[in-house]
Amino acid sequence: MDIIAIEKESFEAFKKHLEKIASLAPKQPFNDTQCIEQEWIEGKELATSLNISLRRLQTLREYGKLSFSTIGKKIYYRIAEVKSLLDKSRVNLK
């Protein structure tokens, strides 16, 4: 481990700069769980919200229309990708 000694005045000036930078950062604490929940959705929850079967989700995965991640036996989908798929499949009626 290296030890670096600096003058007290330099340290105080550096400290003030850091405090100024910190004051510009958002005051709300970053919450990884909240961020993940906004980005990913579990397969059963997605099927329920879209009113489709789990088998239909499996078909979308098999045909490469919807990518996914698995953790254990649970399958997760990116919400942004689901929205994109829905937009691509939109039918405009006149």
Q: pLDDT by residue (tens digit) across 32-63?
A: 555 666 789 999 999 999 999 999 999 999 99
Angle at 76 between CA 72 and CA 81, to 5 degrees: 155
| pLDDT score of 89 | 83
| pLDDT score of 68 | 93
| pLDDT score of 48 | 92
Question: Could you please report the per-residue DSSP string of the chain?
Answer: -------HHHHHHHHHHHHHHHHHS-SSPP-HHHHHHHHEEEHHHHHHHHT--HHHHHHHHHTTSS--EEETTEEEEEHHHHHHHHHHT-----
